[in-house]
């Protein structure tokens, strides 16, 4: 098992971010590419839980085609909502959560929209999002970052794996702890690119199994890479 021995994580992220900027200058993600409102971002992120971006996008497109207005999603039978998002998996559970979120917005905000969150502080916006059914730290951070440009750094499976391997956080840190530590470490203006580039790097090079350390531009700053590559 490798140990973190390099520079302080607070300094280290800067050299990593610089290499990532050179390696992935124009990286975009699922939530970057599609243009939609914050509620759409929230629903798409919910649909992406435990599945791939492609399947989540297929489920989202199918849902919006069947029910172009959120009022229609709220009024639909749960089984009909589930039917139209089945491409994303866990469709029964996700349908219940989506309708519960819509009902909550209707009751508390009087509209099927999250636009009003833009006027809240980042802390208050995050607190509200976290109070919604099925919304955890990663989903809330995705909405804050991609829809409101508020300070947040979502931690998905790729960001968590790379953060541990690179030595930015403890190997035992939970995704919620990693998110807290990265948000304290990475300035808000750098968070979007850092998040997207780590995901891209995790898919292309630093895969869960057999990471391609010998082909990795981060290797010199990576605790796992230092241990696994010949000296
Ligand atoms: S050196 Fe290896 S473990 Fe480290 S980031 Fe690169 S591929 Fe991942």
Domain end call among 113, 148, 183 = 148
Is the CB of residue 205 less than 8 Å from the CB of residue 199?
no
Ligand 1 neighbourhood includes 197 CB (under 6 angstroms): no
Residues 41 and 59 grouped into a single domain? yes
- Whether residue 216 is predicted with pLDDT greater than 60 in this model: the reply is yes
Query: Would the pLDDT of 189 be above 90?
Result: yes
8: CA distance to ligand 1 center in Å? 18
Residue 167 maps to a domain: yes
Predicted local distance difference test score (pLDDT) of residue 89? 84
CA of 215 to the centre of ligand 1 (A): 9
Q: How many CB atoms are located within 10 Å of the residue 104 CB?
A: 14
Which pLDDT does position 4 carry in this prediction?
47
- Do residues 34 and 127 share a domain? yes
Examine the domain organization and report whether 54 and 140 are in the same domain.
yes
Which atom of ligand 1 lies at the shortest distance from residue 165's CA? 3
pLDDT digits (tens, 9 = 90+) for 141-186: 999 999 999 999 999 999 999 999 999 999 999 999 999 999 999 9
Q: Assess whether the C-beta atom of 182 lies below 6 angstroms from ligand 1.
A: no
Label each residue of 118-160 as H, E or C. Answer: HHCCHHHHHHHHHCCCCCCHHHHHHHHHHHHCCCCCCCCHHHH
Q: How many domains does the chain have?
A: 2
More reliable by pLDDT, 7 or 132? 132
- What is the per-residue pLDDT for 87? 87
Q: Are 50 and 113 in the same domain?
A: yes
Whether residue 14 is contained in a domain is answered as yes
Q: Which of 94, 115, 148 is the last residue of a domain?
A: 148
| Residue 4 domain-assigned (yes or no) | no
Q: Are residues 101 and 54 in the same domain?
A: yes
Domain that holds residue 200: 9-27+153-228
Q: Give yes or no: residues 143 and 171 share one domain.
A: no
Ligand 1 near 145 CB (within 6 A): no
Could you give the CA distance from residue 1 to residue 224 in angstroms, rounded to a whole number?
Answer: 9
In tens, the pLDDT along 109-147 reads: 999 999 999 999 999 999 999 999 999 999 999 999 999
The confidence score (pLDDT) of residue 72 equals: 98
CATH assignment of the domain containing 175: 1.10.1670.10
Q: Return the pLDDT at 3.
A: 47
Higher pLDDT: 9 or 64? It is 64
Q: Judge if the beta carbon of residue 16 lies within 6 A of ligand 1.
A: no
Q: Point out the domain boundary residue: 148, 166, 182.
A: 148
On whether residue 3 sits in a domain, the answer given is no
> In terms of pTM, does the model score above 0.75?
yes
CA 119 to chain centre: 22
Do 172 and 212 fall within a single domain? yes
Are 92 and 82 contacting, i.e. CB atoms less than 8 angstroms apart? yes
CA of 200 to the centre of ligand 1 (A): 13
As a whole number of angstroms, the distance between CA 38 and CA 117 comes to: 9
Nearest CA to ligand 1 atom 2: 213
| Alpha-helical regions (H) of the chain | 9-23, 30-33, 38-47, 53-66, 70-75, 78-84, 91-109, 122-130, 137-148, 157-166, 175-185, 188-204, 223-228
pLDDT score recorded for residue 142: 96
* pLDDT: which is higher, 83 or 4: 83
47-91 pLDDT per residue, tens: 999 999 999 999 999 999 999 999 999 999 999 999 999 988 889
Phi/psi at 230 (5° precision): -60, 140
CATH code where residue 116 lies: 1.10.340.30
Length of the chain in terms of residues written: 231
Q: Does residue 87 lie in a domain region?
A: yes
Distance 163 CA to ligand 1 centre (A): 10
Model confidence at 30, pLDDT cuts 50, 70, 90, reads: confident
């Amino acid at each position: 098992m490798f140990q973190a021995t390099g520079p302080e994580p607070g300094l280290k992220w800067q050299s990593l971010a610089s290499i990532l900027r050179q390696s992935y200058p124009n990286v975009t993600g699922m939530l970057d590419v599609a243009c939609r409102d914050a509620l759409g971002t929230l629903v798409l992120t919910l649909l992406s839980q435990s599945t791939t971006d492609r399947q989540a996008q297929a489920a989202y497109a199918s849902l919006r085609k069947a029910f172009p207005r959120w009022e229609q999603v709220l009024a639909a039978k749960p089984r009909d909502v589930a039917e139209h998002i089945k491409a994303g998996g866990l469709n029964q559970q996700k349908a219940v959560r989506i309708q519960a979120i819509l009902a909550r917005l209707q009751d508390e905000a009087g509209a099927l929209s999250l636009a009003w969150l833009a006027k809240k502080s980042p802390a208050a916006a995050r607190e509200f999002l976290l109070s919604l059914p099925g919304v955890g730290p990663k989903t809330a951070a995705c909405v804050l970052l991609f829809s409101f440009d508020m300070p947040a750094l979502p931690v998905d499976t790729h960001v968590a794996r790379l953060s541990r391997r690179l030595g930015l956080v403890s190997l035992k840190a939970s995704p919620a702890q990693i998110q807290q530590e990265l948000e304290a470490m990475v300035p808000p203006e750098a968070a979007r690119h850092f998040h997207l580039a780590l995901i891209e790097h995790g898919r292309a090079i630093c895969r869960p199994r057999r990471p391609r350390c010998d082909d990795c531009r981060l290797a010199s700053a990576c605790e796992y890479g230092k241990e696994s590559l010949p000296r």
